[in-house]
């Protein structure tokens, strides 16, 4: 096992990794910006090093500073968390070449899945069902038109270097395609320095369901079931569940087998997530793969009883997976609410100092957070302040427990999305599980003009 792990992240996930290391008897090194000097991940780590000023590009994205910190402290592994450098193939490669274990997949796997066209090719090679669309990149508006004619409108133009909803544009009919293609390509070029586009049939109200996979360094791959992630706002997940009520045993087995086959085919290692769209008829279609531990991993932990971050550490150190597929049991139902420092109506950031803080507790309640009374929520970073995760024997019990926990949760001094979650959890359509990826559109503040931003949601709603 590793002797010392450097955590190249901040906030709740940095603390999550510090705790997993402690549980395993591994020493930890926290890195932090000047603004995060008094953060809990710094306080609870064995050592800490300042890596730069508040702006992420100068600190948590500063590869030379982080590598220097790793060498200086003699860390033998780096955990990248999520966001920041977690899906940066160059960073993983630098770790590999410096003899520091990157806790995640190989740099080649990260690069492969980062190119969404290459990822789809890999999925096709593994016989994973794909959304109908272009078999590769589309290089001209004419080519896009020919393919759109074939798959039928509406279609979705996606940037090959995008992902997570960045660089997508819906095209409703043929007359819009030419202009949309040029605009989307220009936006992709500006945002990613790469104008490669591909095209898919646009599914209007699919569910977004993802499979958690895990692979060790000995060729063993398992899946840990699915998460229902349809509750998104502007491509930010708001609430996640495990399992998905729309997935029965047969479908779970088929999606899981497809995800495992993809991992086997590319020699995948460590934790990963295979994202699918689920059509109303139960058809499932690969869209992309995330090569990191995700924010919502805790709902999978709650229903499987497995510590996924501990498993990441074990597997990266060369240990065999502690479970085989038949040991993986999904028990009960878990829900995660992302508590953000945001105005609960407009969702604009609300950083500041917390002047009163009380966390919920009790049976089946978990809070993963880095805040406390008098903590500062900084404007430099994303607005997630806590993940509130509840477990129940059934979805109904989990919903009631979540309402109870949200009512107990006191965060004063900043605005949070707690009131929004309370509204959502009493929405009859949500409670009846009549959800899809456009569900939260009805909670958006005001209808806006037709969407054209590269990072905006398809369909024009903002």
Q: Just list the catalytic residues.
A: 292
Q: Report in angstroms the alpha-carbon separations of 221 from 28, 212, 284, 295.
A: 28, 11, 21, 21
Three-state DSSP at 236 gives strand
- Toward ligand MV4, which CB reaches closer, 89 or 170? 170
Strand 236-242 to strand 221-233: parallel, antiparallel, or no bridges (unpaired)?
A: antiparallel
**Residue ranges in 210-249 that form contacts with ligand MV4 under rule CB under 6 A:** 232, 235
Which of 87, 240, 275, 336 contacts ligand MV4 by CB under 6 A? 275
Minimal distance in Å, beta carbon 203 to ligand MV4?
4
* Segment interacting with ligand MV4, rule: CB under 6 A, options 24-32, 200-208, 370-378, 446-454: 200-208
Position 457 contacts ligand MV4 (CB under 6 A): yes
Instruction: Give the bridge partners for 411, in sequence order.
Output: 357
- Taking contact as CB under 6 A, which single stretch among the options 21-29, 201-209, 305-313, 340-348 is the one that binds ligand MV4? 201-209
Residue 272 sits in the site that holds ligand MV4 (CB under 6 A): no
Read off the DSSP letter of residue 202. Answer: P
* Cα(31)–Cα(57) distance, integer angstroms: 14
458 lies in the site for ligand MV4, by CB under 6 A? yes
State yes or no: residue 165 binds ligand MV4 (CB under 6 A).
yes
How would you classify residue 79: left for phi > 0, otherwise alpha for psi between -120 and 50, otherwise beta?
beta
- Binder to ligand MV4 among 137, 164, 267, 344 (CB under 6 A)? 164
Binding segment for ligand MV4 among 7-15, 180-188, 195-203, 264-272 (CB under 6 A)? 195-203
Q: Which range touches ligand MV4 (CB under 6 A), out of 73-81, 97-105, 108-116, 202-210?
A: 202-210
The 8-class DSSP code of residue 319 comes to: P
CB of 92 to ligand MV4, least distance (A): 21
* Minimum distance, C-beta of residue 370 to ligand MV4, in the bound complex (Å): 26
Nearer to ligand MV4, 352 or 460 (CB): 460
Q: By C-beta, is 277 or 377 nearer to ligand MV4?
A: 277
The residue (of 295 and 354) whose beta carbon lies closer to ligand MV4 is: 295
Interacting residues of 150 by C-beta distance below 8 A, sequence separation 6+: none
Least distance to ligand MV4, CB of residue 233, Å: 8
Given the rule CB under 6 A, which of 27-35, 203-211, 367-375, 401-409 is the region that contacts ligand MV4?
Answer: 203-211
Q: Any contact of residue 131 with ligand MV4 (CB under 6 A)?
A: yes
Of residues 272 and 458, the one with the C-beta less far from ligand MV4: 458
Question: Does residue 146 come out as left (phi exceeding 0), alpha (psi in the -120 to 50 range) or beta?
Answer: alpha
CA of 187: how far to CAs of 41, 61, 120, 148, 168, in Å?
37, 23, 22, 20, 10
Regarding 288 and contact with ligand MV4 (CB under 6 A), the answer is yes
* Cα–Cα dist 149/137, whole Å: 16
Q: Which is nearer to ligand MV4, 282 or 305 (CB)?
A: 282
Note whether 256 and 284 are within 8 A (CB).
no
Least distance between ligand MV4 and beta carbon 438 (Å): 5
439 near ligand MV4, rule: CB under 6 A: no
By CB under 6 A, tell whether 208 contacts ligand MV4: yes
The encoded tokens of residue 407 equal 């009512």
Question: By the 8 A CB rule, do 2 and 26 touch?
Answer: yes
Q: Is the Cβ of residue 36 or residue 145 nearer to ligand MV4 in the bound state?
A: 145
Beta bridge mates, 278: 207, 284
Interior/surface letters 229-250, b for 16+ CB within 10 angstroms, e for the rest: bbbbbeebbbbbbbbbebbeee
Binding mask 65-104 for ligand MV4 (x = CB under 6 A): ----------------------------------------
DSSP assignment of 96-161: HHTT-EESSS-HHHHHHHHSHHHHHHHHHHTT--B-SB-SS-B-SHHHHHHHHHHH-SSEEEEEEE
Which residues contact ligand MV4 (rule: CB under 6 A)? 131, 156, 164-165, 200-203, 206, 208, 232, 235, 275, 277, 287-288, 437-438, 457-458
């Amino acid at each position: 096992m590793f002797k010392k792990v450097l955590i190249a992240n901040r906030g709740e996930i940095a603390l999550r990794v510090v705790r997993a290391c402690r549980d395993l008897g591994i020493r930890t090194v926290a890195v932090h910006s000047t603004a995060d000097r008094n953060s809990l991940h710094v306080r609870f780590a064995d050592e800490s090093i300042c890596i730069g000023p508040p702006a992420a590009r100068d600190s948590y994205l500063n590869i030379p500073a982080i590598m220097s910190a790793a060498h200086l402290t003699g860390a033998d592994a780096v955990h990248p968390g999520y966001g920041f450098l977690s899906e940066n193939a160059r960073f993983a490669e630098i770790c590999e070449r410096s003899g520091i274990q990157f806790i995640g997949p190989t740099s080649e796997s990260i690069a492969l899945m980062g190119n969404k066209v290459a990822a789809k090719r890999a999925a096709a090679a593994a016989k994973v069902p794909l959304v109908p669309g272009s078999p590769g990149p589309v290089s001209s508006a004419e080519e896009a038109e020919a393919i759109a004619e074939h798959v039928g409108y509406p279609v979705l133009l996606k940037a090959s270097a995008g992902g997570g909803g960045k660089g997508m544009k819906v095209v409703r009919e043929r007359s819009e395609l030419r202009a949309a293609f040029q605009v989307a390509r220009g936006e992709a070029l500006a945002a990613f320095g790469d104008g490669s586009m591909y095209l898919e049939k646009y599914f209007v109200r699919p569910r977004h369901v993802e499979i958690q996979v895990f692979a060790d360094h000995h060729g063993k791959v398992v899946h840990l079931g699915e998460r229902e992630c349809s509750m998104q706002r502007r491509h930010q997940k708001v609430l996640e569940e495990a399992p998905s009520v729309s997935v029965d045993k047969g479908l779970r087995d088929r999606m899981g087998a497809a995800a495992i086959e993809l991992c086997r085919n590319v020699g995948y290692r460590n934790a990963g997530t295979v994202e699918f769209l689920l059509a109303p008829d139960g058809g499932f279609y690969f869209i992309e793969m995330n090569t990191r531990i995700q924010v919502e991993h805790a709902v999978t932990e709650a229903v499987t009883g497995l510590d996924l971050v501990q498993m990441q550490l074990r597997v990266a150190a060369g240990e065999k997976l502690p479970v085989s597929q038949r040991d993986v049991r999904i028990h009960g139902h878990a829900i995660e609410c992302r508590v953000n420092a945001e105005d609960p109506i407009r969702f604009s950031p609300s950083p500041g100092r917390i002047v009163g803080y009380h966390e919920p507790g009790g049976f089946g309640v978990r809070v993963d957070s880095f805040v406390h009374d008098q903590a500062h929520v900084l404007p430099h970073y994303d607005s997630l302040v806590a993940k509130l995760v509840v477990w129940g024997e059934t979805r109904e019990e989990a919903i009631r427990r979540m309402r109870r926990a949200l009512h107990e949760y006191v965060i004063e001094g900043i605005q949070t999305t707690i009131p929004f979650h309370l509204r959502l959890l009493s929405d009859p359509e949500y409670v009846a599980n009549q959800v899809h990826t456009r569900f939260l559109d009805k909670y958006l503040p005001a209808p806006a003009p037709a969407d054209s931003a590269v990072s905006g949601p398809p369909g024009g709603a903002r």
